[in-house]
Amino acid sequence: MADLTWLETALVIVLLLCVLVGTLPVINTGLQFLMLPVHAFRNHYGKAAPYHPNVAVIIPAWNEGAVIGPAIERLLQLEYPADRLRVFVVDDASTDDTPAIVGAKADAHPGRVVHLRRERGGEGKAHTLNHGLDVVLADVWTEAVLIMDADVIFARDSLRKLSRHLADDKVGAVTAYIAEGSRDRNYLTRFIAIEYVIGQLSARRVQNVGGAIACLAGGAQLHSRANLEAIGGRIPTGTLAEDTMTTFEGQLKGRRMVFEPHAVVLAEEPRTIDSLWKQRLRWARGNVQLTSIYRKLWFRPSREHNLGSFSFGLAWFTILLLPAFMLLAAAGMLALLVLHSDIAEFVFRFMWISAACIYLYSMLYAVQLDPRTGRHSWREAIMFPGLGALLLMVIALFPWAFESGLEAVGLDLTDETRILWAVIFYLWGPISMLGIWLARAVEKLPGGRFFAGLLLYICGYGSLLCAITVDSYIKEWRRADASWIKTEKIGRVDS
């Protein structure tokens, strides 16, 4: 920077800081996987012990006729003392055959399966769960409560692996590993399977190390009675992310939340971009709401909990603000290109080489955590960042290969075309998000699913999540309808 004026030098430094801040999500991913081995030494297993409290299972159900029967049967087959497990299905005014199926199960297993009918439904999952909690907590028999979804299938040993952590009375709740379990997988469910390995098996192990859990999985969370009573015996109803808010409230009351990676629960996940979009939009809007609700919590360390730690806040906001970070990095790179193209080229290469190293390390590590998912989703593991991002990594590593490739197809790399390519490369993040919006738009057209899938492989699954997050910003800003929308399930879980 010797040939720059002091003002230009200052601007370059500011822009470099913008790029650095913009790459925080990549940095956080690298830190996450570097911390992951620590879980082998810093975990809760030393305080866990065989423990079988009386467990009341609450299943909220609205028109779940296709899945509720197998879910109940699987629960009754768990490796858990039969006299210590009762299943309560809260029927949220279903209009299909759910009442008949649950009623038949209750008749076949008197005392073990209970049908609770709500005549007025449609108020959302939290209200349905609270109806069940009113019943089970009124009975002194209940020592723990398992909250689950109607479509999930528990592995036979999953509940006893969860309950062993409640032997420590400082633990308020335990959550399981929700794995994508469809028997007829498609490209999207395979991407989701890889996402769950990264977001649960790795991220929540690191959260165990840090002593703060972001969210108890809505489909499988085991609470001690004391934990539920400490938060008022109710699931919070003022947000779309009731499971996350419940997680936060328990920790704010001084109780520990634990992720148990060896308790496996299979779930049915959306098969189309549109259905996934609707599900994740609810999650993203809920997280936006919670960020505001707990605004006095962030980056304020406390002796009672670790939710205010720097590491937890960094992980939370790199997910919440991922699109903003992406745009900031792109803007910084473009400004550097205008101000000093040599510096911009160096930063581009450094940024994408770093991203390539982190991607290779994290993905190779991740697929080892769940070999089953690694076997059937290896293509999606490779293509997780998208073909476009992979090409940028290759170009950053081997810039001469890009120039040779252009020459091979008869294109000259002039100063003008070099700048054009640089702009496209630097703006790839925003471009990939637009590609995802296009994928959602064409998916419903004849033959659209093929092109939607092709666009997803090109733009990357991360860009899909970014696009949904942007939509959540817009919906919250417009104060759009925030009613709880159920994800349709048809019973595709391979039990």
Integer Cα distance of 214 and 311 in angstroms: 12
Whole-number pLDDT of residue 274? 94
Integer Cα distance of 118 and 401 in angstroms: 65
Pairing status of strand 153-154 against strand 144-148: unpaired
Minimal CA–CA distance to 442: which of 189, 190, 273? 273
Q: Where in 62-136 does DSSP place strands (E)?
A: 85-92, 113-118
Summarize the confidence of residues 78-104 as an average pLDDT: 91
Asked if 469 and 284 count as a contact pair (C-beta separation under 8 A), the reply is yes
Residue 108 contacts by C-beta under 8 Å, 6 or more apart in sequence? none
Per-residue pLDDT tens for 405-429? 766 666 666 667 778 778 888 899 9
What tokens appear for 255 in the block?
A: 């109780």
**For the residues of 173-220, what is the DSSP string, one character each?**
EEEEEEEE-BSS--HHHHHHHHHHIIIIIIHHHHHHHHT--S---TTE
pLDDT at residue 122 greater than cutoff 80:
no
Whole-number pLDDT of residue 488? 59
| DSSP letter assigned to residue 486 | P
Per-residue pLDDT tens for 440-450? 999 999 889 99
| pLDDT class of 26 with cuts at 50, 70, 90 | very high
Asked if 383 and 390 count as a contact pair (C-beta separation under 8 A), the reply is yes
Whole-number pLDDT of residue 268? 87
Tell me how many degrees the CA angle 462-458-463 measures, rounded to the nearest 5.
Answer: 20
Per-residue pLDDT tens for 371-411? 999 999 999 999 999 999 999 999 888 887 777 776 666 66
Whole-number pLDDT of residue 315? 94
What tokens appear for 95 in the block?
A: 């209009």
Domains in the chain, start-ordered, CATH in brackets? 6-24+320-477 (no CATH), 39-306 (3.90.550.10)
Whole-number pLDDT of residue 409? 65
Whole-number pLDDT of residue 184? 81
Q: Helix, strand or coil for residue 116?
A: strand
Whole-number pLDDT of residue 482? 62
Whole-number pLDDT of residue 381? 95
Per-residue pLDDT tens for 251-307? 999 999 999 999 999 998 899 999 999 999 999 999 999 999 999 999 999 888 999
Q: What percent of the chain has pLDDT over 70?
A: 94
pLDDT at residue 164 greater than cutoff 80:
yes
Q: What percent of the chain has pLDDT over 90?
A: 67
The position carrying tokens 């209009």 is 95
Asked if 213 and 258 count as a contact pair (C-beta separation under 8 A), the reply is yes
Whole-number pLDDT of residue 382? 95
Summarize the confidence of residues 236-242 as an average pLDDT: 85
| H helix intervals, 340-444 | 341-369, 371-376, 378-382, 387-397, 399-408, 415-426, 428-442
